[in-house]
Structure 1
């Protein structure tokens, strides 16, 4: 094929590719809309290296947001930062591969009661004298399907709710990936 034929056929090739990609996108949207949006998820928390903090957190889509409920055990008594982080990547021994706090709008870190804060900012959980924290918190205006595949992280210290970028809550002592829950 000479250069002239190649140049004149490029617009046709691009048109075909564009039309095909639009058709695939429309088919995907039609197929996706018929699928059910997930309503329940779970995160099983595993300790980072040198820790023994574990737990189970369930997540359920509600009208006003996502309800997180569960228990975390083997904590030191007191407050511990509790957040959803960007990635469900558990490859590093210290939990840092989970990235920073989940913040799709790019807000600054803050209290969950602040007008603007990371979507993954939940403040602190409070461990009793036995080292158990019971959790029941709503992530207001969140959609469960946007949290799937991300990580829930528990920190070794209290979140001060203001230091940037993550509240100075200390090392990550436990984390788990948010995955679809078995409905049975």
Structure 2
């Protein structure tokens, strides 16, 4: 009888341990799914370049395969300015040229997004600064990703540049947007 009691206790403990193990596994799976589905976000601080006072932040957030970019910039001259993603996150040079040219992984001509003749993946466009030099722009696209490893979409390791002038969307390869007045690296 004593042996039967010990056996029943052992079986009960094994069942409890298995249930706890199952619960633990379910928790791990749930946490992993939540982590995979959670939005990815990177905040980029923009630093003044080319003897300007232009600074700001750019926030990239990826949710369900779509990246939303919100840039908030101050210190600009009133009027329109171009903003682009460039090849490198290296903002070490005083003029911002250490970022290289526009990010163009699909070898398209410079242009405006949505135009059939093509555009660089980094050709974001123009935005307007008010009389106080403040500007913001928001862009949403499924043509970018954050850390996905796809060379034609991944913005990690690239730079974001605010230009002194306006992108004309036609001049090759830059849009004749003028000097680089602010720079930030898109890095984790």
TM-score by length of 2: 0.73
User: Residue 41 of structure 1 contacts residue 148 of structure 1 at CA under 8 Å; is this kept in 2?
Assistant: no
Q: Distance in 2 between matches of 1:81 and 1:64?
A: 25
Residue 179 of structure 1: CA displacement?
2.3
Q: Distance in 2 between matches of 1:70 and 1:49?
A: 20
Larger Rg: 2
Partner in structure 2 of residue 132 of structure 1: 134
Aligned pair in 2 of structure 1 residues 101, 139: CA closer, same or farther (>3 Å)? farther
Partner in structure 2 of residue 68 of structure 1: 69
Aligned pair in 2 of structure 1 residues 85, 139: CA closer, same or farther (>3 Å)? farther
Matches within 5 A, 1:23-172: 39-63=40-64, 65-115=66-116, 116-145=118-147, 146-172=154-180
Give the secondary structure class of the aligned counterpart of 1:89.
coil
Q: Distance in 1 between matches of 2:84 and 2:114?
A: 14
Map Cα deviations across residues 97-122 of structure 1 (whole Å, 9 max, x no partner).
Answer: 10011111111110122232100001
Residue 65 of structure 1: CA displacement?
2.9
User: Residue 154 of structure 1 contacts residue 175 of structure 1 at CA under 8 Å; is this kept in 2?
Assistant: yes
Q: Distance in 2 between matches of 1:110 and 1:64?
A: 24
**What is the number of residues matched between the two proteins?**
147
Q: Distance in 2 between matches of 1:110 and 1:62?
A: 26
TM-score by length of 1: 0.74
Which consecutive segments of 4 or more residues in structure 1 shift more than 4 A? Answer: 34-38
Map Cα deviations across residues 24-50 of structure 1 (whole Å, 9 max, x no partner).
Answer: xxxxxxxxxx99597111110001131
Give the secondary structure class of the aligned counterpart of 2:187.
strand
Coordinate RMSD, CA, aligned: 1.9
Partner in structure 1 of residue 4 of structure 2: none
Partner in structure 1 of residue 181 of structure 2: 173
Q: Distance in 1 between matches of 2:80 and 2:72?
A: 14
Q: Distance in 2 between matches of 1:139 and 1:152?
A: 16
Residue 64 of structure 1: CA displacement?
5.5
Map Cα deviations across residues 76-107 of structure 1 (whole Å, 9 max, x no partner).
Answer: 11111100000011121101110011111111
